[in-house]
Amino acid sequence: MTKKIIAFDADDTLWHNEPYFDEAQERFCALFQDFASSQEILGMILNHQVKNLPLYGFGIKAFTLSMIETALKITQNNITGTGIEKIIAIGKDLLEKPVELLPNVEEVLQELHGKYKLVVATKGDLKDQHRKLHDSKIGGYFHHIEVLSDKTELDYTKMLNRLECEPENLVMIGNSLKSDVLPILNLGGVGIHIPYHTTWEYEKIDFEIEHENFIALTNIKEVIGIL
């Protein structure tokens, strides 16, 4: 496979992320267990997140605001200032979580570094993602860092233009079929899917992907054998 640029998603591809959000939602559900079931509360948070994406985008701050809106709805606007403070604390705790690399990530980056231009292409809070990249100590492997507002075909096209790269010369590696694979395949690049054990509901799809440029792996270490 002759490609020029290898792009990596960050959250749940390079390091753990979604379990921290799951834990945060459990804490939120515990705060409001007298108002609704956990299933109902989680559904409300997701609905607020999806509705707010055009305004807030992705990331912890957007998630925290959606939790606050959910709390206001659950309590019929009767939540106390102390209650709001507890929700903000959940968000702040997320922003201070340690960065734990997934197995074999640094080994793969060491192997590919110098052979390709390596790029991070991720969503989320700009400041938070740069913090995680810094704390992970793997930033030096990457030629370019992109924190995208979304991962649509248009977002990727703009990134490719900045990189002066044609879509057919890009390989995108990530855990989300919806965000990391499908848009790249539609543009003519190669999409490599490496599943993570838990996935945000918004990122799930309900169909199988059949495409000549689609590669499904079980571990990031398998990337070396392909590239």
Confidence of residue 227 (pLDDT cuts 50, 70, 90): confident
5-16+100-226 and 18-95, same CATH topology: no
Mean pLDDT of all residues in 156-185 = 96
Distance CA 190, CA 188 (A): 7
Q: For the chain, how many helices (H) and strands (E)?
A: 9, 6
∠ at Cα 67 (65, 71), nearest 5°?
115
pTM for this model (two decimals): 0.93
Q: What is the mean pLDDT of residues 80-106?
A: 97
pLDDT tens, 109-129? Answer: 999 999 999 999 999 899 999
pLDDT in tens, 7-37: 999 999 999 999 999 999 999 999 999 999 9
- Fold classification of 18-95 (topology level): DNA polymerase; domain 1 (1.10.150)
Distance CA 223, CA 163 (A): 22
Average pLDDT of the chain to the nearest whole number: 95
**In whole angstroms, what separates CA 68 from the centre of its chain?**
21
Q: Rounded mean pLDDT of 210-216?
A: 96
**Residue 174, pLDDT above cutoff 80:** yes
User: Of 204, 123, 188, 119, which Cα lies nearest the Cα of 153?
Assistant: 188
Residue 193 C-alpha from the chain's centroid: 13
Say if CB 170 and CB 3 are below 8 A apart. yes
Domain locations along the chain:
5-16+100-226, 18-95
pLDDT exceeds cutoff 70 at 1: no
pLDDT at 3 over 90: no
CATH of 5-16+100-226, one of 3.40.50.300, 1.10.357.10, 3.40.50.720, 3.40.50.1000: 3.40.50.1000
pLDDT of residue 89: 98
CA-CA distance, 49 to 37, in Å (whole number)?
A: 18
pLDDT at 2: 61
